[in-house]
A and B are shown apart, each in its own frame.
Chain A
């Protein structure tokens, strides 16, 4: 009988492989399912040896870009949510609920409406600025002052700031409705009708963010213990926080620039995978890279199918799935534990 530690490690690896397999399956499903279902063999054809024959165009022109985008955005949201929860020591958080996505969205729509920037390569920088701005505000409102910092307090700050940003963003959009005619996804976060270049534009930033996650991964476990304890164990808390801040800015900003604000993915994923990984943040991050995209893809697929032939934006589906998770989380916490 192998020792427990090794057994756990082995289980985790197996679990991760299963998660990756699930991701692959979901990808295939995403390519096949939709308003019109395409058979798997045709999907295979379209991917490997594309000819403009039959329904292959659906796969090639519509679903591949969509799936790729969902993979990237899901990855970004999952990783950023995990980082926020780890560094913020706050299980009730992700980039949407803390208003970070709303900040990114506001700056993007402002850039489009006031500065005429229509290319994603240009307005993505505004997304980063907006995400950073929102994070700063949430920090100021939720984490300073004499009152104790509790997850609920930060959550409320995020909700308030998100609401203001949403309201102002909405007003900005109304200023120049034509510019947003093909950008309806800003209301609910949607992955459809986005050309592959969007995915290409956000990919490098997400990659950098993911690498940063790798870098801070080890120190997350120590940071999670609290500032004092972490320092006494030799962890460099400030460095972890700054790197995480940069990572979240890149990940959340890129995700929002690519697909509009999508919530709850970052919130749900760390909790969902913790059952299999235990409290080790490196493993949670690892699992998140597979599970989060799969989750978003699944939500997107559900959105395509549930009200055929119309489509439900992915952001709506994730809200439907994620809110019960939030409720379950807060009920679990017990009376006054912060």
Chain B
């Protein structure tokens, strides 16, 4: 087995690469990416440990660690493991789901703004989820399936409406914004029709929330996520190849149409998973891949860094949502919209400076 630290034999990559070879198995990644991902994971863990101790009943971080290792068996255990940990874990799961789907969509549309929440896919997935919740009823799998269908229909609609002798990037975005507006109206209509007790509850539903997350949702969601992740791994590095254009991709042995379709379905599927669990949470899918890309200094968006970044972003947003107003709690979607919108503004400004 060899792990080489330096530049590979004869090929200077410009950034140090880590190459692992064990027998016939080999892999390569840039050291910077590895370090960034590791740092984000550690950071996520640290934030979770500290945040799980916040609230009316505080638990010091050292005690939290004690609970996790099993040495602390006081009431802290109940608070950490039963009350708060499910929510933290869900935040991490949903965040990474959104991060991956954002990366897929941005790679497919070749546009940093082509994320599912801007082009209306998130709203459409929510429509599907609402229809199932309001009309048919069912558990997590049923809602997720509805969200998947809703998201796919919306994605196809946006694609079809923006396609005109080819796919100009900005046209896709504008059509996506328009479709998003319509679909959001439909969602609001459905929410009005559903008999909610107060307007506050109804509007909370519109933003996406992590309150009330329990282990019962975590399990099916994890199962679906693992399945999709396995599928993505099996597809191999086709996404970076697709980004070079259909001709180049075809020349290298990728079937562009099929690959795009497969990635699209997975991307929408991931959005559906997140939506079914927590409602429409926007802007994580937009921001996570781009922030990850800047941190890892890699060409194009990467799936793993986006996932980890998304997890961290949503976790931080949820902590803010819970803590910023003492006493009452914001839906996490409101925080992500504010933070994400601010990030989008920054992105637009920096794009404007460059060109």
Contact = CB atoms under 8 A, between A and B. Distances in A.
Do A and B come into direct contact in the complex, CB within 8 Å? Answer: yes
A141 B341 contact: no
A330 B113 contact: no
Interface in B318-352: 324-325, 328, 330, 334-338, 340-342, 344-345, 348-349, 351-352
A145 B349 CA distance: 7
Contacts of A14: none
B161 A327 contact: yes
Interface in B143-181: 161-162, 164-166, 168, 170-171, 173-175, 177-179, 181
Instruction: Count chain B CB atoms within 10 A of each CB in A142, A175, A331 and give the residue with the most.
Output: A331
B340 A163 contact: yes
A330 B168 CA distance: 11
A217 to B, nearest CB: 29
Contacts, number: 148
A263 interface: yes
Contacts of A32: none
A323 interface: yes
Interface stretch (B29-37, B68-76, B188-196): B188-196
Given A141-B345, A152-B173, A170 B203 contact: yes
B185 interface: yes
A263 B181 contact: yes
B199 interface: yes
Interface in A149-180: 150, 152-153, 155-157, 159-168, 170-171, 174-175, 177
B354 interface: yes
A320 B174 contact: no
A307 B192 CA distance: 10
A144 B348 CA distance: 11
B341 A161 contact: yes
Interface residues of A, number: 56
Contacts of B337: 163-164, 166-167, 170
A174 B200 contact: yes
B344 A335 contact: no
A335 B162 CA distance: 11
Given A145-B353, A167-B337, A330 B171 contact: yes
A319 B175 contact: no
B115 interface: no
A316 interface: yes
Given A147-B354, A327-B175, A163 B328 contact: no
> Max chain A CB contacts within 10 Å: which of B171, B173, B340?
B171
Given A148-B355, A177-B200, A171 B338 contact: yes
A175 B86 CA distance: 26
Contact of A174 (B178, B328, B345): B328
Contacts of A174: 200, 325, 328, 330, 334
B174 A141 contact: no
Most A C-beta atoms less than 10 A away, residue of B174, B192, B193: B174
A168 B339 CA distance: 9
A275 interface: no
A1 interface: no
A312 B164 CA distance: 34
Contacts of A140: 349
A177 B193 CA distance: 21
A331 B171 contact: yes
Given A184-B199, A319-B182, A336-B168, A170 B207 contact: yes
A156 B328 contact: no
B184 interface: yes
A330 B175 contact: yes
B179 A307 contact: no
Contact of B348 (A150, A156, A307, A322): A156
Interface centre among A137, A141, A159, A177 (most CB of B within 10 A): A159
B342 A156 contact: no
Nearest to B282: A163
A121 B175 CA distance: 38
B261 to A, nearest CB: 23
Nearest to A188: B188
Contacts of A171: 324-325, 330, 334-335, 338
A177 B355 CA distance: 45
Given A147-B354, A175-B325, A324-B178, A310 B348 contact: no
A187 interface: yes
A334 to B, nearest CB: 8
A336 B171 CA distance: 9
A86 to B, nearest CB: 20
Nearest to A338: B170
A84 interface: no
Contact of A320 (B185, B200, B203, B283): B185
A322 B354 contact: no
Given A92-B174, A146-B353, A163 B179 contact: no
A317 B184 CA distance: 11
B124 to A, nearest CB: 13
Contacts of A330: 162, 171, 174-175, 178
B348 A146 contact: no
A157 B341 contact: no
Contacts of A146: 352-355
Interface in A122-151: 137, 140-142, 144-148, 150
Contact of B352 (A147, A160, A166): A147
Contacts of B340: 163, 167
Contacts of A156: 113, 173, 348
Interface of A: 92, 97, 137, 140-142, 144-148, 150, 152-153, 155-157, 159-168, 170-171, 174-175, 177, 181, 184, 187-188, 263-264, 307, 310, 312-313, 315-317, 319-320, 322-324, 326-327, 330-331, 335-336
Given A165-B341, A326-B177, 14 more contacts: A140-B349, A145-B353, A153-B348, A153-B352, A156-B173, A159-B177, A166-B341, A170-B203, A174-B325, A188-B188, A310-B193, A319-B181, A323-B178, A331-B175
6 contacts: A137-B345, A146-B352, A153-B352, A159-B177, A160-B341, A168-B338
